[in-house]
Structure formats: structure tokens, C-alpha cells
Amino acid sequence: MKGKEKELENNVFFWQKLDTLILSSQIEIIRKKGEPSVDYPGLIYPVDFGCVKDTISAPGTPFYCFKGTLNSLSATALIVQADILSREVFTKVLIGCTEEECRLILKFINATEFQKAILVRRGIEVPSWASSDQ
């Protein structure tokens, strides 16, 4: 984006650290693909939903995840979600998700008027300020 600042500086080292957290933990599935949401029974989970055990996203908050159909435990993307009813901002990781699954998850989360989310796709860029991950 010549002449403009980047909106997001994607950092390959961030994604490597996130993969390390995932690979060194267990994934606990809370809702299976096809099950309804507890809060919104009309919404059906498009992929498995759970949490990355022994990892928190904020003090006392589980690190939630969506597990797709790819045979991979790598982070595909992140969801950053704002919920005005609970007055919280959540970060959820998408693990082993196809592009179509990413689209369906984003649509699923944005389906209610009370919560909205953005998708941050995995990047491979090394930031200009970094020559290594040290």
C-alpha cells in the first residue's frame, strides 16, 4: 500500500508463537459442528467449537477456538469479536480451517445484532522492524 500505512502489520513470528501454544495444549470441543448455540438456538455451529486447554485469552477467560476439517493444528486466522450484551471483546482462534469454513464462522458470529467480529487471516510477512523472533 504505497503512500498509505498498513492497516495491520501481520507478523509471521506471532503466528509461530500461536501455533506453539496450540501444539503444546489440548483442544476441548464444547459444541460439535451442527449443534445449536446455547444463547441463540437458531444459530448452528458451522464447525467444532471449543477451547485451547491451559491457555487463557484474558484473566479467567478460556481461549476459545473453532476447529475446522483440515488435518492441521496450525492457526488459520483469528476472530476478534465485540459483544455489547456481555460488554466483552473476545479473541478466538481458527484452527485447521478452510477458506469456506472461515467465511462460515465469520457469518455465524456476525448473525446477531449484539455481536460483530472481524477476521484476521494468517500472514507470512516478517515485519520491517524484525530480523528474527528474538
Q: For 11-43, what is each residue's pLDDT tens digit? A: 888 999 999 999 999 999 999 999 999 988 999
Termini Cα distance of the chain: 27
Give the span between the Cα atoms of 76 and 69, in whole angstroms.
12
Which residues touch 44 (CB under 8 Å, ≥6 apart)? 34, 35, 36, 37, 108
- The whole model's pTM is what? 0.87
Please say if the pLDDT value at position 48 is more than 80: yes
Q: What is the pLDDT of residue 1?
A: 42
* Beta bridge partners of residue 101, listed in sequence order: none
CA torsion, points 110, 112, 116, 118, in degrees to nearest 10? -10
Of 102, 96, 100, 107, nearest to 43 (Cα)? 107
